[in-house]
Amino acid sequence: MSYDSPGYVDQLNTNLIDKWNEVIQVSYTSLEADFGSRFFAIDPQALTNPSPAAIQWFADPAEPNFCIGEDVAKQLSDWGIRGRQELHNEYCEYRVIERVDSSGRMRPKRIQVTTELREYWVCIAKYDPTKVREMVQSTLGFQPSWEDLYGVNDPFGLTEDQREISFSTLVAGHGNDRKLSSMGVPRQPTGRLNTENALFMTHPINGLDDLLYIVMFGARPYASSTPGTKATREQIFREFDVEQLACRHADPAAAMGAYEAVFNGQPVAFANPLGMYFLSFTKNVFSYQGSPIPDEWIQWSRGKQEGVYQRLEFGPSDSDAAFLDDITVDVGSSSTPLTGGFQVLQFIEVGPLVVVGDVTPVSTGEYIILNTSNSPIKCSEADVCNVLIKPLKEEYDRNQQVGRVSPRVMGRS
């Protein structure tokens, strides 16, 4: 197994490539006992005649939408760093960059969107501070200080583990890594580089281990009642008591994409390079003053070519007089101002690169028989609605109320 840097974008030496592949191998090994099968290979070269398989999904956060509705989903998802850190869990995160207009009003200028895996950045930061500093500079356009990256002015005086902890604390968060969490690394980063910007993904659910898990989870020959009878999405997720995952965009698309191949006897693997990529973007729904938006308002990066881009900057540059909300979203007879990232992500599809091999018949004894119900999963009743989404909406409303100033009423003489 030898995966290149995600997007083929970073020129890594052999040692860093090996370290990145070790991260992938460790994550795979942790899942292999429970979810491994002959139908999933961690090495795409193990497949015979591999061919691409389409596995992709829309990038907008699904949970607030199915819990309360699209308007609230947009409201909460666009709620700055709070919305990002709580809700951007479809393997795509964004940050709205605001600027002051000529009247002195703060307005959205453009959005930064990223699909880059946290684990990759932490790996490079752990073993090569100079390289990760170069990566940040090429991505954000300025050279970060060592203090912003590691909290010290000389990261070369730290051990590799200390660099991992320091970088994770300031830039990456713990990503549900038990070791980092036990060392006091917070769930989300505390520094400015990846909060004032969307440098790479930090939501714990957007991790490498979750990506491997959901594809391996789907890459097994489930059957409904009898061998050879295809199981439904509802049966598969209900059988393992993870119905809530079926309500997102990412998890059912990844799992069922793998399952469709495996049910036909085709083994599945991630293609090189392993990563999360922008796979489609319907840009023609966006217009400016009645015309298509300028090409320079769509900037792809962090990828060698189309199909492996991992970063999008969408909207006018600082030198342009226009603002993001001067753009309209035109769907059918509806035309609405573009005010944040949620509306853009509704027209973006993301996913990993996946390949399938030649058909190898599934034997009767290999089928995993499911007897669970195939009745619809009621996403609006999912625990996340009461545990996270509704309390977050209440917090948002309180925050907005505090920000309002009542009109002053003058007394009469």
pLDDT digits (tens, 9 = 90+) for 383-406: 999 999 999 999 999 998 875 544
Using alpha carbons, list the distances in angstroms from residue 395 to 79, 83, 391, 392, 401: 11, 11, 6, 5, 10
Write down the pLDDT at residue 406. 45
- pLDDT above 90: residue 412: no
Average pLDDT over residues 145-168: 98
Total domains present in the chain: 1
**Residue 174 in domain:** no
Residue 83: pLDDT band with limits 50, 70, 90: very high
* 131 within domain boundaries: no
State residue 403's pLDDT score. 58
- pLDDT higher at 333 or 47: 47
Does residue 222 sit within a domain? yes
92 located within any domain: yes
* Start-to-end Cα distance in the chain: 85
DSSP annotation of 362 reads P
Q: Which of 198, 183, 242, 201 is nearest to 218 (CA)?
A: 242
> Does 378 map to a domain?
yes
Q: Is residue 21 assigned to a domain? A: yes
Check whether 358 has a pLDDT greater than 90: yes
Domain that holds residue 94: 6-117+201-397
Confidence of residue 225 (pLDDT cuts 50, 70, 90): confident
pLDDT at 407: 47
Pairing relationship of beta strands 40-41 and 268-270 according to DSSP bridges? parallel
Could you read off the pLDDT of 295-331 as tens digits, one per residue? 999 999 999 999 999 999 999 999 999 999 999 999 9
- Cβ–Cβ under 8 Å, residues 69 and 385: no
> Are 73 and 61 spatial neighbours (Cβ–Cβ below 8 Å)?
yes
Task: Give all strands of the β-sheet with 327-331 in edge-to-edge order.
Answer: 291-292, 286-288, 327-331, 334-337
Read off the pTM: 0.94
How far is it, in rounded angstroms, from Cα 106 to Cα 320? 15
Q: Tell whether 297 is covered by a domain.
A: yes
Say if residues 309 and 277 touch (Cβ distance below 8 Å). Answer: yes
Alpha helices in 98-145 (DSSP H): 118-127, 129-140
Range 35-62 average pLDDT: 96
The whole-angstrom distance between residue 119's C-alpha and the CA centroid of its chain comes to 12
Question: By the 8 A CB rule, do 340 and 71 touch?
Answer: no
Question: What pLDDT band is residue 227 in, cutting at 50, 70 and 90?
Answer: confident
Q: What is the pLDDT of residue 404?
A: 54
In a domain, 144, yes or no: no
Would you say residue 340 has pLDDT above 80?
Answer: yes
With cut-offs at 50, 70 and 90, classify the pLDDT of residue 413.
Answer: very low
Return the structure tokens found at 275: 């990563």
Residue 218: helix, strand or coil by DSSP?
helix
* Range 219-229 average pLDDT: 91
Phi, psi of 142 (to 5 degrees): -145, 155
> Residues 56-76: what's their mean pLDDT?
97
> What pLDDT is stored for residue 131 in this prediction?
98
